[in-house]
Amino acid sequence: MLKRVLLTALVFAIITGSASAQLRTGVKGGISALYVNADDVTILDTMGIPEYQLGIANTKIALHIGFFVQADLGKYFFLQPEFLFNSQTVTYLFTDIDDPDREILKDENYQTLDFPLIMGLRLGQLRIGAGPVGHLNMNLNTEIDDPVDEDEDFVNESYTTSFQTLTWGFQAGVGVDIWQLHLDARYEGNFEEFGDHMNFYGQPYSFGVRSSRLVISVGISF
């Protein structure tokens, strides 16, 4: 909560204090590719006996859309806060430890409100910047808690989620401004472990690694 308040205060303080700066507002959208280099996780049943191996089968290309404000702070510096709705789908693979030929694929779709605050150097039309990014978790659509068939030993009935409301990361990259067209390519890192929202049989799990993303966006200012 404190980080959210400080970030909001920083955005408004800089923009308000730069009322004489050149401001551009616009809409933007794009795609991102999620990367998670993680080993499988072993899910234990209520007796502590290994039941399933949980792995990441694939991560689908994510879409985002929203708006941005770009402020030139003098000739060589800029500030760019953004507010973006992001939708990301991950496919998980469950492998039955007692029957390795039994593999079950389940999708989860995460919907977040992302708000990067990019600050950096402007060199003509080229921008080089970095800054924090917050992820406000809005909604989760999961297939993991759906039954597979009449076989009741699947973990669907034991699965619950416990998302943090707000998580944090950073973005760094380059951008190009061509008249009213704005292009951005950024690398994003995150501070929380991927999958730390998962609970099976009341026990928390995660993949023990942090995810990263390549984010590509196109914007138009007015």
Q: How far is CA 158 from CA 9, 58, 153, in A?
A: 41, 23, 10
**Which one, of 22, 14, 27, 97, lies nearest residue 55 by Cα?**
97
Angstrom CA distances, 67 to 26, 81, 89, 111, 189, stand at 6, 9, 22, 17, 21
> What is the pLDDT at residue 53?
97
39 has pLDDT over 70: yes
pTM score, whole prediction: 0.87
145 vs 27: CA distance, rounded Å: 36
Residue-wise pLDDT tens digits, 138-154: 999 999 998 887 656 78
pLDDT grade for 72, boundaries at 50, 70 and 90: very high
Can you tell me the mean pLDDT for 9-24? 57
Say if residue 201's pLDDT is above 90.
Answer: yes
Q: What pLDDT sits at residue 99?
A: 92
Q: For residue 198, which amino acid is it? A: M
With contact defined as beta carbons under 8 Å apart, do 3 and 10 qualify?
no
- In this prediction, residues 66-89 reach a mean pLDDT of 96
Tell whether the model's pLDDT for residue 5 goes beyond 50.
Answer: no
Measured CA to CA, the distance from residue 173 to residue 189 in angstroms comes to 12
The domain segmentation of the chain, as residue ranges, is: 22-221
Residue 162 to residue 167: CA distance in whole angstroms: 13
pLDDT score recorded for residue 22: 84
Residue 152 and residue 62: Cα distance in Å, rounded? 33
Average pLDDT over residues 62-73: 96
Domain 22-221 CATH assignment equals 1.20.1260: no
Average pLDDT of the chain is 90
- The pLDDT-based confidence of 210 (bands split at 50, 70, 90) is very high
pLDDT tens for 92-120 read: 999 999 999 999 999 999 999 999 999 99
Which of the pair, 131 or 12, is modelled with greater confidence? 131
CA–CA gap between residue 121 and residue 128 (Å, rounded): 5
Q: What percent of the chain has pLDDT over 90?
A: 82
Looking at per-residue pLDDT, the higher value among 216 and 155 belongs to 216
Range name among 8-17, 44-53, 123-132 with the lowest pLDDT average: 8-17
Extended strands (E) in the chain: 22-35, 41-44, 50-59, 62-73, 77-96, 103-123, 126-142, 159-161, 166-178, 181-193, 198-200, 203-205, 210-221
Answer yes or no: is pLDDT of 1 > 60: no
